Amino acid sequence: MIEIAIDTGGTFTDGIAVEDRRSVTSAKFPTNASDPATGIMGCIKLLAEERNLAERDLLADTGTIVVGTTLATNCIVENRGLAKCCLLYTKGFRDIPELGRRIPKADIYNPRLPAPSVLIPRHLRFGVEERIQFDGKVLTPLHENDVLEALRRAKAHGIEVPVVCFLNSYANPAHEERAAEIIRSEFPDVIVSTHVLRRWIEWDRLTTAALAGSVKPVLRRFVTTLIERLNDADFKGTLLFVTCSGGVATPDVCLDNPALLIGSGPAAGPLLGAFLAELKDFENAIVCDMGGTSFDVSVLPHRTILTTTETAIGEYRSGCEAVDLDSLGAGGGSIAKIDRRGILQVGPASAGADPGPACYGKGGLLPTVTDADVVLGYIPADYFLGGRISLDRDRAEKAIYEHVARPLGVDLIEAAYAISSLVESNMAEMVLLSTVRKGFDPRDFKLVVGGGAGPVHAIAIASRLGIKQLYIPKLASLFCTLGISLADYKSILGRMLYRGQDEVGLDEFKNLYHSLEEEGRATLVRQGVTEQDMRFIRGAEMRYSGQLHDVEVSLPATTRGALFTGEDFIALIRAFHERHKAIYGYSDSAMPAIFATLKLQAKGIRPSIEMVEQPFASRNPSAALRRKRNVYFKELGGFVETPCYDTGRLQHGNVVRGPAILEHPQTTVVVPKDAELTIDAYGNYSVVRAS
């Protein structure tokens, strides 16, 4: 049986077809930003052609299609296609969206600081008489007439999605549930805040619910269109989507909580990073993924994927638990320009897939990183996507000369190198900040590289950071797509407790975890997960008394019904003190820990990819030498005749010493003078830099 994994990026839609968890076929198709389903179906068609099959025949043998999508994220960042929402709030708390919970540190003393952007304007917020106490006790019953009045006003304003967010509903969602029940007769897309995010801090829950409501219609149209096109092609299997937590879920679960698809695509990259770290026994890894539009960084200490409840999406934040990623507008399509001060900048604006970089010959006139890489010889103009697209070097040179070289008064090659060098500097800075902020030194990590543009610049980035070792998968350009195929079903649940370790009994913990487990199990059963494939990971968000930020800890996975013991309780407390010291440099085991929130991950295990080892062949790579061509290496004085190797002919044990280029149909690996690259048993590239 075949599984298809597809990642819809900003420039290309990447796909793989995995048969029997071992044999992998890959394809790339230009992304259609206005209709992502077109790119997905185009990618499936190419996958079928790679296997010499008709599209229907491939889908007939396919049991599962898993899709990662940036649609929701792009709509929010670009303020495109968002639904008109209203808010039903607890009367007296109308201005929570503006009040927020923090002042941006960079502008704390700026008297001209503009008001924060809000998704739901003030005139579309309708107060409802009701009040629930912090502990869930009802102080004021829900006034249903206020809900009916809000419903009338919503219809008069042409609202698409009402959002319901009442004070303290995380402790007792009864009023929200009843209000939604009344509204659903007119608005089936109503968003209930506790369905999206059941945790304290009203602003987090409200903002996340507003984000979910804003993207729900566009996501529903996308999902519906994709299902219709797959049905037309006689697909009878299971369709899944990657969620922001790095799990997968069925379309109905995702549409119930659209916030799950905010940050969907990049969340899969760290999954492959963790898989490769385990495979190669890397203790610590930094995963960087440079595609056509963005550069994503995730830090994996002890092979652990970190998560966050503060994901930034443009001007907004989502409180849904998500894979902890830092993103930068730096990719192959990032546009280079001279700003008003006469200084070169690269990104964050991108040429995307259409018109794309100037060298694509599709009408793009502005220079990009890809154009610079073509001019410098890093990307072969005659072998882009295996020769399916011929890049126009003359157009790249013209764009760089007109928009960068001439304004700066430098020659063409110097301008191209400045573009390439600047984007590498920006990316290295992002990696450094991402690592140091978490209390780690990047020199203690190995760099795991992904993205079509990643292998072009990765060794240069490592050099700037003092990182000595890198690992580049042969299919680096399909990094997130491969990660998608590794994702399990995942549902993350939480209940606020906010009690000290001496203030709560073991029985209360048992009951709360049991309740969370049954809720998680019901979600997995709804998606067809069998009992034997279910795993449950108990954890907590904890802090010391008086602190504002929580530290997350967890226990090893268990099966359903496993008892929560006193030893587990002590293990959570011990883990908190250890984690606190790792992050902040100190801990105090004599100080009681506060259990702010109890958490549970409900996972449905899916089969993983099997990596097949190849026998050792030779250290000599000469059999794979494809040609020699001029490539620019500044440290060698300019253009030098450089050996270029065909990755399809490289074998286990081959050692390539820089300067050299590895030419793959979907990416290029640039190996500078101070680096040595070895083909490992899996066909991937282990790189060691000289001191």
The per-residue pLDDT for 467 is 95
**Measuring CA to CA, which residue among 301, 321, 299, 292 is closest to residue 309?**
321
Same domain for 42 and 93?
no
In a domain, 212, yes or no: no
**Measuring CA to CA, which residue among 352, 348, 346, 357 is closest to residue 415?**
346
Same domain for 297 and 441?
yes
* Cα distance between residue 263 and residue 549, in whole Å: 23
Overall number of domains in the chain: 6
Q: Is the peptide bond before 355 cis (omega within 30 degrees of 0)?
A: yes
Tokens of 418: 């400045």
Same domain for 434 and 321?
yes
For residue 71, what is the domain's CATH number? Answer: 3.30.420.40
Tokens of 185: 């007769």
Q: Which residue has the tokens 């060794």?
A: 459
- DSSP one-letter string for 476-521: GGGHHHHHHTTPPEEEEEEEEEEEETTSS-HHHHHHHHHHHHHHHH
**Pairing verdict, β 685-689 and 675-679:** antiparallel
* Cα distance between residue 519 and residue 526, in whole Å: 11
**Secondary structure tally for the chain: helices H, strands E:** 18, 34
Q: Extract the residue ranges of the chain whose pLDDT is less than 50.
A: none
* Cα distance between residue 212 and residue 319, in whole Å: 11
Q: What are phi and psi of 284, to 5 degrees?
A: -130, 140
The per-residue pLDDT for 107 is 63
In a domain, 616, yes or no: no
The per-residue pLDDT for 142 is 96
Same domain for 302 and 398?
no
* Cα distance between residue 275 and residue 450, in whole Å: 13
The per-residue pLDDT for 658 is 86
What is the end-to-end Cα distance of the chain in Å, rounded?
Answer: 47
Same domain for 319 and 449?
yes
DSSP summary character for residue 626: E
In a domain, 213, yes or no: no
Same domain for 341 and 473?
no
Same domain for 319 and 174?
no
* Cα distance between residue 610 and residue 279, in whole Å: 11
Final residue in a domain of this structure, among 371, 390, 422: 422
In a domain, 678, yes or no: yes
Q: Which residue has the tokens 């006790």?
A: 137
Same domain for 447 and 323?
yes
Strands (E), 428-585: 446-450, 469-472, 489-500, 534-544, 551-554
The per-residue pLDDT for 106 is 55
* Cα distance between residue 302 and residue 556, in whole Å: 15
Final residue in a domain of this structure, among 370, 401, 422: 422
**Pairing verdict, β 85-90 and 2-8:** unpaired
* Cα distance between residue 230 and residue 222, in whole Å: 12
Tokens of 573: 């407390």
In a domain, 630, yes or no: yes
In a domain, 611, yes or no: no
In a domain, 214, yes or no: no
Q: Which residues contact 417 (CB under 8 A, 6 or more apart)?
A: 372, 376, 632, 634
Residue 531 burial class via C-beta count within 10 angstroms: exposed 0-12, middle 13-18, buried 19 and up: exposed
In a domain, 250, yes or no: yes
**Measuring CA to CA, which residue among 296, 325, 290 is closest to residue 667?**
290
The per-residue pLDDT for 610 is 83
For residue 566, what is the domain's CATH number? Answer: 3.30.1490
The per-residue pLDDT for 180 is 95
Q: What are phi and psi of 129, to 5 degrees?
A: -75, 115
Given a contact cutoff of 8 angstroms between Cβ atoms, the answer to whether 172 and 136 are in contact is yes
Same domain for 305 and 442?
yes
Range of the domain at 284: 270-330+423-484
- DSSP one-letter string for 25-72: EEEEEE--TT-HHHHHHHHHHHHHHHTT--HHHHHHTEEEEEEEE-HH
Same domain for 294 and 440?
yes
Single-letter residue type at 643: P
Same domain for 639 and 527?
no
Same domain for 131 and 171?
yes
The per-residue pLDDT for 200 is 84
* Cα distance between residue 498 and residue 638, in whole Å: 62
DSSP summary character for residue 314: T
